Amino acid sequence: MQYTGTAANIVRAAETLFAEQGFTETTVRQITARADVNLAAVNYHFGSKKGLIQAVAEKFLGPLCQNIEQVLDQRMAASDKTISLEELLEMLMRALLGVNQNNDHALSVFMRLLDLAYMKHQEDLRDFLIERYGSRVQTFIAMIRKDAAPMEDDEFFWRLHFLLGSITFTLSNFHTLNAIERREFESGAEVERILHRMIPVLTAGLQARADRVYFCRI
Amino acid sequence: MQYTGTAANIVRAAETLFAEQGFTETTVRQITARADVNLAAVNYHFGSKKGLIQAVAEKFLGPLCQNIEQVLDQRMAASDKTISLEELLEMLMRALLGVNQNNDHALSVFMRLLDLAYMKHQEDLRDFLIERYGSRVQTFIAMIRKDAAPMEDDEFFWRLHFLLGSITFTLSNFHTLNAIERREFESGAEVERILHRMIPVLTAGLQARADRVYFCRI
Amino acid sequence: MQYTGTAANIVRAAETLFAEQGFTETTVRQITARADVNLAAVNYHFGSKKGLIQAVAEKFLGPLCQNIEQVLDQRMAASDKTISLEELLEMLMRALLGVNQNNDHALSVFMRLLDLAYMKHQEDLRDFLIERYGSRVQTFIAMIRKDAAPMEDDEFFWRLHFLLGSITFTLSNFHTLNAIERREFESGAEVERILHRMIPVLTAGLQARADRVYFCRI
Amino acid sequence: MQYTGTAANIVRAAETLFAEQGFTETTVRQITARADVNLAAVNYHFGSKKGLIQAVAEKFLGPLCQNIEQVLDQRMAASDKTISLEELLEMLMRALLGVNQNNDHALSVFMRLLDLAYMKHQEDLRDFLIERYGSRVQTFIAMIRKDAAPMEDDEFFWRLHFLLGSITFTLSNFHTLNAIERREFESGAEVERILHRMIPVLTAGLQARADRVYFCRI
DNA sequence: AATGAATGAGGGTTCATTCAT
DNA sequence: AATGAATGAACCCTCATTCAT
């Protein structure tokens, strides 16, 4: 399951660089140079650069889903059937933190991958993720909806992506945002604090009533 | 101010491709092929690919800032000094819509640019944007804070970026999200409707109280 | 004969840049930018970059030949038929200085042109120069031979080019050499002084006896 | 130390083309085509075109300096401390010939490199050569001065460059000069003969007294 | 007489990938 | 299992030149 030796070095180097620069902007040369391995090693071990990206993705997505499912099962077994939004989001955040435990860049890469998956010509990646993790994610999303404000399907669809945007943007660019905060306020927050801060904000967003009238195009 | 002829064709083609694929993934050859102009035209008119990206950026940022400032001035002159969050966000959304009026991809490109600006090694772009538009944006942000829940500076800083993430993610990937919605719900929403839907969500997020205790790393 | 207006500006700018960087390394853009004229002006006035180079060449070669011929005629008319090498070389140096009078870079360009003419694939330039100035130069060379040491035709041919090398190298790179001298000896010599210094050296070289045995390839 | 395989083919092809056309005029595509290797091979093996030029330079400069130093040491050890100018120049010429032994174009390239090094904006190359070979050359130059006519430092500086000009010009353009000689005298001299012919000329030039009065600018 | 716009050709360089060893 | 050498394709950019005005 876990990579060892050369392959592990490559994955480690790739995570850092993907997190800092994005996937396209990171070259195989940069990765192998940082991992201190041969240039051909990426293709040897992962078939292609795309293969490496998927490997990096799976390394986190698997444990993440597993973690959430396990905690959810425990919670469901223990008591009643409805779980509050705050609690659900806290589960999610804890799971994300777990992913981050071994590598500071893991979360950034993961979020960047989600960003990438929503780009126009990335059907391949999108399908890969949906096929692998789609159904497991749906369960969790269904739980969230139960405690959100009542709303139409499409309204919920969009709100979910507002929420997803908050998470991916903040975590993709955590390094930069942290640096800015450090410069402006002379103290920077850790990932866990930011994740925690999101909970009330996202909760409020999902529970807000949507009763306003539309404005018209000028 | 507005480009004409070849330069305009280039900008138009670039907007579409940048919106669909991102900046790095889009090549000068793709742009000039789509614009049906010579390969060298990009360098002739914009100096470099980077120059073209900045040109595309300024085309929207200028009018956007101007629009917001103007509306804000009118509103301030007309009546009292405090403006509700909903109203402020509606101003913002209307201004964004205005930017989008002539080109469906304008907003996506603009949001992608913001995304790019937060990447680690993009200090150049970051500085360019701050120098050009920093102070004008600050004014608007200050207004927002007045009607947000009372909170520390750093808390506000992060919430602002949660909000920014929602906007950039949704608009960057509007094309894809719209396609998904269309497929799943057999009806797709226009940009303006999505922008409007954000208002109560973002408002609730900024006004939510932040009184919860931290959870600890597991 | 003399260029005016735009054409003159172009020639002036070209001389400087050709002198500093050589012909290939100097671009039409650099020339027109420095001359503060339109990019197309070079082609408009001189047909092509090559045409400009020839124009620059003729501007100096014409007066140079004329000057030498005139002085030579006066001297021949005035007195005896044999003129010393020193005197002939002094005529040449004075003529070169005359060429340099209006533009510090004229000599460098001229010498660089001679250098260029000896390159393998520059038959065009070679033929152009020979056709235009070949016979006039031959007369002067014949005078030189009269006061040189007695030697075979081929020996004289090579010595003449040793001499030519000294002149072209020193004057092509006068700017750099002057800067080095200035740095090392804290005083730099003017072109005229250098030209004068060459006379005894070149004279001695042409008058040296060539009576040594060959060495063998190791 | 010596290149093998593809790298050697590249160097060989580059030497010929550089000798014939100069550095700027020679394209990487020409080099790789002639060497019958992939276009990217130059960058793979030498980093850049500039890197290739330096590699070509070092291939000759190293052995050249070593050769001269070795011969000089032997000569110094064997007998008295003063060596005649003729003998010193013969050492130099033999060393140059040694460099030329394996490749007819080696000398031309080397001389063209020296020419290039004296151009205005080539400080990089100049510094590279000085740093690498400056001190070793100084020793030899000091020996030359001992048997030259007594003169001021600056006078010697210029005479040395008159001499350098003779050598670089003749050898840079040996191919062309040889062709001309062949056409005009129906027999061409080999490099070694030309090098030998230079010795008395250069010796006379360095030993000539510099006692003439200056002429004035007309 | 002069120019802004545009272009075809070609420049050096870099990419992910392959293959013989 | 791993690598040094090599490559085809594509990158952005710059060149001298042309053409309509």
Q: Rounded distance, CA B48 to CA B40, Å?
A: 10
Tell me the per-residue pLDDT of D9-61, one tens digit each, with 9 for 90 and over: 999 999 999 999 999 999 999 999 999 999 999 999 999 999 999 999 998 88
Tokens at C169, concatenated: 């190298």
Tokens at B169, concatenated: 């993610």
Q: Are D126 and D54 in contact (CB under 8 A)?
A: no
Instruction: Look at residue C211 in the predicted model and tell me its pLDDT.
Output: 62
Query: Which chain A residues have a beta carbon less than 8 Å from that of B154?
Result: 181, 185, 187, 189
D10 Cβ contacts chain E strand, under 7 Å: no
CB contact under 8 A, D208 and C192: no
This prediction has a pTM of 0.90
Query: Which chain D residues have a beta carbon less than 8 Å from that of C184?
Result: 157
Q: b or e along C11-29 (b: 16 or more beta carbons within 10 Å of the residue's beta carbon)?
A: bbbbbbbbbbbbbebbebe
CB contact under 8 A, C201 and D176: no
Question: Which chain B residue has its CA at the smallest distance from A161's CA?
Answer: B170
Query: Which chain D residues have a beta carbon less than 8 Å from that of C22?
Result: 24, 119
Instruction: Look at residue A189 in the predicted model and tell me its pLDDT.
Output: 73
Contacts of residue B182, Cβ cutoff 8 Å, sequence gap at least 6? B188
The predicted model gives A55-72 an average pLDDT of 90
Q: What is the largest CA-CA distance in chain A?
A: 61
Question: Which chain B residue has its CA at the smallest distance from A168's CA?
Answer: B165
Beta strands in D19-130 (DSSP E): none
A34 Cβ contacts chain E strand, under 7 Å: no
What are the Cα distances from residue B112, in Å, to A26, A116, A122, A154?
18, 12, 16, 24
C161, C175, C186: best to mutate for the D interface, most D CBs within 10 A: C161
Whether residue B193 is predicted with pLDDT greater than 70 in this model: the reply is yes
CB contact under 8 A, D154 and C86: no
Tell me the per-residue pLDDT of B1-56, one tens digit each, with 9 for 90 and over: 578 899 999 999 999 999 999 999 999 999 999 999 999 999 999 999 999 999 99
Size of chain B in residues = 218
Whether residue B218 is predicted with pLDDT greater than 60 in this model: the reply is no
CA of D26 to C1' of F17 (A): 21
Instruction: Look at residue C78 in the predicted model and tell me its pLDDT.
Output: 76
Instruction: Look at residue A210 in the predicted model and tell me its pLDDT.
Output: 76
CA of D33 to C1' of E9 (A): 18
DSSP character at residue A104 = T
Contacts of residue B206, Cβ cutoff 8 Å, sequence gap at least 6? A201, B85, B144, B147, B148, B149, B159, B163
Q: Rounded distance, CA A161 to CA A151, Å?
A: 15
CB contact under 8 A, C200 and D217: no
C7 Cβ contacts chain E strand, under 7 Å: yes
Q: Rounded distance, CA A171 to CA A192, Å?
A: 11
Q: Which nt is closest to the CA of A28, judged by C1'? A: E16
Task: Scan residues 43-62 of chain B and list those with Cβ within 7 Å of strand E.
Answer: 44-45
Q: Are C65 and C133 in contact (CB under 8 A)?
A: yes
Task: Scan residues 171-210 of chain A and list those with Cβ within 7 Å of strand F.
Answer: none
Q: Rounded distance, CA A181 to CA A168, Å?
A: 18
Q: Which amino acid is at A105?
A: H
C28 Cβ contacts chain E strand, under 7 Å: no
Chain E bases having any atom below 7 Å from a protein CB: 1-19
Q: What number of other Cβ atoms are within 10 A of residue D20's Cβ?
A: 18
Q: Rounded distance, CA B38 to CA B44, Å?
A: 10
Q: Rounded distance, CA C67 to CA C92, Å?
A: 9
pLDDT digit string (tens) for chain C, length 218 residues: 578 889 999 999 999 999 999 999 999 999 999 999 999 999 999 999 999 999 999 988 888 999 998 998 888 887 767 789 999 999 999 999 988 776 778 899 999 999 999 998 898 889 989 998 888 899 899 999 999 999 999 999 999 999 999 999 999 999 999 999 999 888 777 899 999 999 999 999 999 987 654 454 33
Closest by alpha carbon to C161, among D172, D61, B125? D172
* Res. A211 pLDDT band, cuts 50 70 90: low
Structural domains in chain A plus CATH codes: 49-207 (1.10.357.10)
Chains linked to C by 3 or more Cβ pairs within 8 Å: D
Percent of chain B past pLDDT 70, that is, above it, reads 95
Closest by alpha carbon to C151, among C205, C218, C91, C95? C205
Q: Rounded distance, CA C18 to CA A162, Å?
A: 61
D29 Cβ contacts chain E strand, under 7 Å: yes
C100, C119, C195: best to mutate for the D interface, most D CBs within 10 A: C119
Closest by alpha carbon to B175, among B185, B165, B190, B163? B190
Q: Which nt is closest to the CA of D26, judged by C1'? A: E11
C19 Cβ contacts chain F strand, under 7 Å: no
Whether residue D149 is predicted with pLDDT greater than 60 in this model: the reply is yes
Instruction: Look at residue C91 in the predicted model and tell me its pLDDT.
Output: 94
Q: Taking the CA of residue C26 as centre, how many other CA atoms within 13 Å lie in the half-sphere pointing to its CB?
A: 24
Query: Chain C closest CA to D194's CA: distance in Å?
Result: 8
Q: Rounded distance, CA D35 to CA D10, Å?
A: 5
Query: Which chain B residues have a beta carbon less than 8 Å from that of A163?
Result: 166
Tokens at D92, concatenated: 């130099």
Instruction: Look at residue B1 in the predicted model and tell me its pLDDT.
Output: 54
